[in-house]
Amino acid sequence: MFEMPIPVLAAVTATFFIAGLIKGVTGMGLPTVAMGVLGSLISPGAAAALLIVPSFATNVWQLLAGPSFGRIVERLWPMMLAITVGTITGTSLLASGNTQVTTCALGAALVLYATYTLFVRQVLMPPKHEVWLSPLTGIATGLVTGGTGVFVMPAVPYLQAIGLEKDDLVQALGLSFTVSTIALAVGLILHGAFHLNSFAMSTLAIAPSLGGMWAGQVVRNRVSQPTFRRWFLVGLLLLGAEMLVKPLFH
């Protein structure tokens, strides 16, 4: 990792700053942007390893800043357990080095998430369905996380659908992302894809990520968040489409 060419190193730093900026504005998006961009520069497994520490740091902050930690954990623990199992299982794809399959899967995840968020009305799910839908969503999220390094699908639309208050939703997202990050790290370690150099480089990515989050909070106070979020999702849609079709021409 430390032998990464200077232009690639600069691109990695810029990527984490931009990803942190977007997370500062929207409350999410760091792994999505980081994996989307870095997946075209280095192997998906290496990109996922770089993501671990800055993602963990920013998500723990988001988790602990909320008001309802105990209540949310009590409600969502089946989903978190399923995320852990699914992620550790799914990391075999990232660690395998099969970049064509992984790139297509990541592109599909980005397109699905961006399209859903842009065009589908938010739905509310009756609480009686949580008992089976929560672990099912967790397994699906874990497999997507393990295979692509992206934590958002289908966890984000599910958490939006169970009727959480605004602050509780942000904290629930922080919990889901934190569990996903830890499980991804464990899966990569078990498959031999996360080493000491990976940890050191990932730690160095904390500074641009936190700097980006601070800048994002400044932007959030000056720019319409719905407008920013709309163009962000359009960008993700285009990026995902490009990653989805690119392997077909190789």
Asked, for residue 206, whether it belongs to a domain, the answer is yes
Cβ proximity of 212 and 18 under 8 Å: yes
Neighbours of 122 (CB within 10 A): 9
Q: How far apart are CA 159 and CA 137, in angstroms?
A: 10
Q: How far apart are CA 3 and CA 181, in angstroms?
A: 25
Cβ proximity of 174 and 66 under 8 Å: yes
- What single letter denotes the amino acid at residue 18? I
Q: Which helix (H) or strand (E) holds 248?
A: none
Predicted pLDDT at 196? 67
Angle, helices 225-245/206-220, rounded to nearest 10 degrees: 140
Q: Which helix (H) or strand (E) holds 250?
A: none
Eight-class DSSP state of 170 = H
Report the predicted TM-score, pTM, of the whole model to 2 decimal places: 0.76
Burial class (CB in 10 A: 0-12, 13-18, 19+), 215: middle
Asked, for residue 1, whether it belongs to a domain, the answer is no
Domain of residue 222 covers 6-249
pLDDT in tens, the chain (250 residues): 456 677 878 888 999 999 888 887 777 778 778 877 887 777 777 777 888 888 888 888 778 877 788 899 999 999 999 999 999 998 887 777 665 676 677 778 778 878 887 887 767 888 889 999 999 999 999 998 888 777 888 888 899 889 887 778 888 988 999 999 999 989 988 887 777 677 777 888 899 998 998 888 787 778 776 777 777 778 778 877 877 876 666 5
Predicted pLDDT at 1? 45
- Residue partners of 34: CB distance under 8 A and separation at least 6: 15, 16, 19, 47, 50, 51, 54, 55
Strand, coil or helix: 144: helix
Predicted pLDDT at 225? 64
Predicted pLDDT at 87? 94
Asked, for residue 197, whether it belongs to a domain, the answer is yes
Q: How far apart are CA 81 and CA 175, in angstroms?
A: 12
Cβ proximity of 170 and 66 under 8 Å: yes
Q: What is the number of domains present in the chain?
A: 1
Q: Is the dihedral of CA 120, 67, 213, 182 positive or negative?
A: negative
Strand, coil or helix: 90: helix
Alpha carbon 214 to its chain's center:
19
